[in-house]
Amino acid sequence: MKKKTLFIIGCLCCCVLPMKAQEQSDKNVPEKWNIKSNLLYDATGTINLGFELPLAERWSLDVSGNYNGWNWKDNRKWKHWMAQPEVRLWTRQALRGHFFALHALGGQYNIGNVHFPFGLFKDLRDYRHDGWYAGGGIGYGYRWNFSRRWGMEAEAAVGYVRFDYKSYECFTCGEFLNNGTRNYVGPTKLAVSLVYRFGKKARREAPVPVPYIAPVDTVYRTDTVFIEKRDTVVLREEVKEVPAAPVIITRSEQLHLRYKQGNSDILPTFSTNAGELSRVRAMIDEVKSDKDAQIKRIVVLGYASPEGNEDSNLALSTRRATGLRNYLASQYPALADLLTVVPGGEDWAGLLEAVEKDLLVPECTEVMRIVNRALNGDVAKAKYALKVLSGGRAYYYLVGTIYPQLRRVECRIEYTSTKKE
């Protein structure tokens, strides 16, 4: 019995060991791990639970276990336990879309009076068998992620299983008939699983104001003065006070303002603009009210989402920044000369950051690769690649969900402070 147990354990380990070199080797490994239950097993009264953990960008490890210990009507029984580790290679990114699988399986059984479909294992209808089994197979599956937490998964696999059995006269008696082994080739896994994903929600962090830094009043420089005295050179250190350079402190607010179509003017009462503008006014008012602070410059940056013409988007980002600049000049006339407009154009860096944090972006890995092409200067080809990727499914998601976040303006206020700690 010990040899049989070791054989099962060896088969299960063979599926896991090849992945050792891949383990945690990629910085893009998804942070989530999953728990799942096969609904087809549930329908047969078999308790089952599976866990899946991403190992690398396109690799994951799935481990599931099943147990059925019940006697049914007419002493029908399908008692068994099974462990089934599986290595998965995903076509795009782990835990998304299509995957190919290599699994091992092993366990023990005690079965009788069971009618399998398609004429499989006919002798189980009239005889009882118990023993152990081990094997493996290859499969294909697909994962649907319905939300950040919930998903569904389907998989089918075929392979080989070796059964070691003992046969008994009937499913109600215990008279021993014979024993032996049987080799089976056919379906080894069929799963329709409900999946739940664990992990913290990825959030875009709000800009953190730079804290007040009290500048040092003076620094000291040591000059070496040479005084010649006969044949001896005497060194004398002379300490001089040198005023320290002022320390520039920067604070910023990002605003997602709403505009009427074809208009870049700031409309304070339109949509959610009132709340957005109140945040930037509160920041400026706080610095203005600080008697130790001296405002040096207020920079207004404008950004656009990267659809359409690049030159047009650069002009649009300029108009949006100018609109906020004009609004602030009307609110703070004394600061008008300190207001500076900087056009940011298409916000590809912001797009990359948002895609990295959004778990539901279709073809996420390929989208990030395309966005990096744009950041390296290949903007036109990157835009075309996004539109045709997966038949436009990824692009439509970006346009509807992420691009609105990129149409924004940012206000940075730079000032010095004489406040001492």
> For residue 119, what pLDDT band results from cuts at 50, 70 and 90?
low
Phi, psi dihedral angles at 377 (to 5 degrees): 105, -10
Place of tokens 């215990």: 174
Strands (DSSP E) contained in 309-378 are: 339-346
Q: What are phi and psi of 311, to 5 degrees?
A: -65, -40
SS3 (DSSP) at 32: coil
- 355: nearest Cα among 391, 305, 319, 285: 305
Q: What angle do CA 90, 60, 81 make, to 5 degrees?
A: 115
Which has the minimum average pLDDT: 191-205, 381-395, 397-411? 191-205
* Residues 6+ positions from 186 with CB-CB distance below 8 Å: 120, 158
Number of other CB atoms surrounding residue 372 within 10 Å: 13
For 383, residues 6+ apart whose C-beta sits below 8 A from its C-beta are 306, 307, 374
**For the chain, what are the domain ranges?**
2-198, 247-417
- Structure confidence by residue, pLDDT tens digits, 77-118: 888 999 999 999 998 778 888 999 999 999 999 888 777 766
Whether residue 300 contacts residue 259, with contact meaning beta carbons closer than 8 Å, is answered with no
pLDDT band at 416 (very low <50, low <70, confident <90, very high): confident
Is the pLDDT assigned to residue 17 strictly greater than 80?
no
Token pair 């023990």 is at which residue? 108
**Worst-scoring range by mean pLDDT, 6-15, 35-44, 131-140, 372-381?**
6-15
Reported as a single tens digit per residue, the pLDDT across 216-254 is: 443 333 343 433 444 444 445 555 555 555 677 787 777
The pLDDT value given to residue 134 = 96
User: Which CATH number does the domain 2-198 belong to among 3.30.1490, 3.30.1380, 1.10.287, 2.40.160?
Assistant: 2.40.160
Helix axes 379-388, 364-375, angle to 10 degrees: 160
> Percent of the chain having pLDDT more than 90?
23
Q: What is the pLDDT of residue 120?
A: 66
Q: Are 140 and 102 within 8 A, CB to CB?
A: no
pTM exceeds 0.75 for this model: no
CA-nearest of 275, 271, 285 to 328 is 285
Which CATH number is correct for 247-417, 3.30.1330.60, 3.50.50.60, 3.20.20.140, 3.40.50.2300?
A: 3.30.1330.60
Taking CB atoms within 8 Å and a gap of at least 24, the contacts of 12-16 are 12/83, 12/85, 12/104, 12/105, 12/106, 14/104, 14/136, 15/85, 15/86, 15/87, 15/102, 15/103, 15/104, 15/136, 16/61, 16/85, 16/87
pLDDT of residue 185: 94
How far is it between the farthest Cα atoms of the chain? 122
